[in-house]
């Protein structure tokens, strides 16, 4: 069911590989693991494309892939008076869904916590904002890039 809804989701792919392994279908499990590796490489490529795009727009990249426990912030950058937290979503195509829709409620809650931790631990007192960048393409191609600025995530409350 998860694969139907989110075919590019790494956790769904890893779950599928585990199911194939349990069923004794080792070849299928290996194929899925290869897909996960390709998925991770595509994501890293998308983050590099997004960082290059931001630099081209005059942003100063401060951090890439900053971690707070199991949560992460893809890019932290300076844009004039703002400290900008950027979530990058990369897909090879938009056949199943557009990448920016992958920033769902749970992801926003995690980002909100990670951003709060970064602001607190670095004693940030300037204006901040949250942006998303979607990158659609494949490694070696010229991707389509969409930059969505100042997305509100602070009103969300963690699920209980």
Tell how strand 71-79 and strand 82-91 pair up. antiparallel
- pLDDT tens-place string over residues 20-71: 667 787 777 667 656 666 777 888 889 999 999 999 999 999 999 998 888 8
Burial class (CB in 10 A: 0-12, 13-18, 19+), 26: exposed
Backbone angles phi, psi at 33, to 5 degrees: -60, -35
At 28, list the tokens.
């299928």
Whole-model pTM: value is 0.74
């Amino acid at each position: 069911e998860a694969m139907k809804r989110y075919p590019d989701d790494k956790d769904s792919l890893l779950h599928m590989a585990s199911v194939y392994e349990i069923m004794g279908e080792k070849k299928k499990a290996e194929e899925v693991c290869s897909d996960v590796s390709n998925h991770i490489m595509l994501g890293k490529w998308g983050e590099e494309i997004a960082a290059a795009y931001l630099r081209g727009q005059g942003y100063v990249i401060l951090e890439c892939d900053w971690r707070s426990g199991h949560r992460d912030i893809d890019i932290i950058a300076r844009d004039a008076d703002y400290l900008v937290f950027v979530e990058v979503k990369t897909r090879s195509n938009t056949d199943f869904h557009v990448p920016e829709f992958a920033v769902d409620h749970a992801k926003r809650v995690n980002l909100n916590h990670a951003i709060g931790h970064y602001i607190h631990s670095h004693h940030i007192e300037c204006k901040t904002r949250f942006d998303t960048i979607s990158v659609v393409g494949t490694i070696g191609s010229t991707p389509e890039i969409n930059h969505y600025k100042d997305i509100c995530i602070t009103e969300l409350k963690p699920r209980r």
